[in-house]
Amino acid sequence: MRTTTFLSVFWLAALLSCSAPVEQNETLSADGTHQYWQSELKPFYHGVASGDPLADRVIIWTRVTPVEPGETMVKWSLATDEEMENVVQSGEKQTDETRDFTVKVDVTELTPATFYYYRFAVGNAQSPVGRTKTAPASEVDQLKFAIVSCSNFEAGYFNGFARIGEMDDIDAVLHLGDYIYEYEPGRYGDTSLKRFHLPAKEIVALSDYRTRYSQYRLDPDFQRAHQQHPFITIWDDHEIANNSYQTGAENHQPESEGNYQDRKAAARQAYYEWLPVRESDGQQLYRTIRYGDMADLIMLDERLAGRSAQVDSFTHPDYNAADRSMLGGDQLTWFKGQLQSSKAVWKVIGNQVIFSGVDLSMTRPNNPVNLDAWDGYPVEKQHIIDFLKNEAISDVIFVTGDTHMSWAYEVPESIEAYRRDSTATVAVEFGTTSITSANLDERMHPDTVRLLEQRLQFGGHNPHLKYTNMRDHGYLLLTLDRESALADWRYVETVAKRSSVERSGKQMRLSRSSHELE
């Protein structure tokens, strides 16, 4: 394992050091593919990042691209000013090939609701200065989060990340999964852009996952978003393999790709190395991030913690089996406990796949249910709905990724109950579109997509669906205050080239103690 890691690290180091001069952070290699790096950042080519902010601490991250094997000592400092003159914390951290030369520091004893700036150094070389912000500890008047998902490098340029990186008024970025994609070059994306994946194969081994993360984090727009804001992340399936679950995945073939548990362990290790996420003793990713008395961010793991295998049809005899689970028993118990004990104004659920459900029978009569989403696990889904209703837990907002489309739902007790009484609801759900990953606009004429949107929302099958957009890429801004929550879907002009043009596509407001979207 150490030999494979060593070769991977030096392959990347050679790639970086042999690059041509970078013009506007972009160049084309000899084979026409895109490569990104900034030679002046050496050895901090991957920039800096922060994440999992609490009231008194935050994770800061970087990676050192080594010029020789062995241990590297990295200095870090954290200050209250961008010029790094008023340093309040500093120290050293050792890294080596066993961590892929990544560095994570959990900086403690910080002041709540405060902007901090941080930097790393090796010898005379210094990293860019990052900015982060701690969570509030008590009362807070307003919070704003940028919510993102599905950032496929091959599908286009990360213009959504570029716009987020320009903001100075958001508290954190919530990435709901599909941070990377595991496919081989040309399998899933826009080949005309020549943003081909590295390594040039489907990623399976630890060195493969590390190289893929490295490629994504060389993108300057992705780097800028990380540099400017703390991220709170959760994995979905493509950080491992398509439609993954506890014991397998649709895109894993044991006969040619080896043991799935080995692949899952490699994917998990690379994720913890490359993401600014706090690591727990049990290595469980689900967690709650508290933002004072305003919001509890309850981040779920709907892939590796306890998910049962998907069934292949809603007519499958096990479809309604009581022992089939999305979360697993331990996480489900924890989730209900977090909801029940929360004293926050808003309970925001970091959710990977659609909870509310969508009836696709008008377009897919033989396959009307997304079996990889919560509709594929109907018993556990209804158990959570009943729990929210019976425990009278109010002001719950599911924020969801995965579909590459925008959604707004009033979450019903059941569709039948909702048809009788539109107040028979337990929560709302806001789905964010993709940063780049393909939606219907890449496969159909826009007019056809608009017609489909109208049929889904107003055709009578989905009365709880209040908004959908299946055409545009971007992100979601969620603003919370004591009286209401505002969802603002932001759409970029294109992902086929770098562009600074974006627009607000739709806003929906939710008043406190109500599940009616306005």
Instruction: State whether 411 and 339 are in the same domain.
Output: yes
Q: Which residues pair with 477 in a beta bridge?
A: 146, 488
Helix axes 329-341, 378-390, angle to 10 degrees: 20
Q: How far apart are the C-alpha atoms of 320 and 318, rounded to whole Å?
A: 5
343, part of any domain = yes
pLDDT per residue as tens digits for the range 357-410: 899 988 888 889 999 999 999 999 999 999 999 999 999 999 999 999 999 999
Per the structure, the complete domain to which residue 505 belongs is given by: 142-511
Instruction: State whether 360 and 481 are in the same domain.
Output: yes
pLDDT per residue as tens digits for the range 312-348: 999 999 999 999 999 999 999 999 999 999 999 999 9
At residue 207, what is the residue type?
Answer: S
- The dihedral built from the CA positions of residue 174, 298, 370 and 432, taken in this order, carries a sign that is negative
Tell me, what's the pLDDT at 362? 84
Instruction: State whether 274 and 422 are in the same domain.
Output: yes
517, part of any domain = no
Residues 6 or more apart whose CB falls under 8 angstroms from that of 155 comprise 188, 189, 190, 434, 436, 437, 438, 495
Of 107, 133, 159, the residue that ends a domain is: 133
516, part of any domain = no
Instruction: State whether 117 and 231 are in the same domain.
Output: no
332, part of any domain = yes
Instruction: State whether 25 and 116 are in the same domain.
Output: yes
Q: Which residues of the chain have pLDDT under 70?
A: 1-36
Residues 6 or more apart whose CB falls under 8 angstroms from that of 148 comprise 160, 161, 164, 173, 174, 175, 176, 401, 432, 435, 475, 476
361, part of any domain = yes
Instruction: State whether 206 and 119 are in the same domain.
Output: no
Instruction: State whether 285 and 433 are in the same domain.
Output: yes
Tell me, what's the pLDDT at 115? 98
CATH number of the domain that residue 58 is part of = 2.60.40.380
Percent of the chain with pLDDT over 70: 93
Tell me, what's the pLDDT at 178? 98
CATH number of the domain that residue 262 is part of = 3.60.21.70
Helix axes 2-17, 206-217, angle to 10 degrees: 30
Instruction: State whether 350 and 471 are in the same domain.
Output: yes
206, part of any domain = yes
Instruction: State whether 115 and 172 are in the same domain.
Output: no
Instruction: State whether 289 and 350 are in the same domain.
Output: yes
518, part of any domain = no
What domain count does the chain have? Answer: 2
Tell me, what's the pLDDT at 69? 83
In terms of Cβ atoms closer than 10 Å to its own Cβ (0-12, 13-18, 19+), residue 272 is middle
Instruction: State whether 77 and 152 are in the same domain.
Output: no
Of 133, 164, 197, the residue that ends a domain is: 133
Which of 264, 370, 245, 260 lies closest to 306 in space, CA to CA? Answer: 245
Tell me, what's the pLDDT at 385? 98
Tell me, what's the pLDDT at 186? 96
121, part of any domain = yes
Which of 166, 72, 58, 74 lies closest to 116 in space, CA to CA? Answer: 58
Instruction: State whether 325 and 213 are in the same domain.
Output: yes
Of 95, 116, 133, the residue that ends a domain is: 133
SS3 231: strand
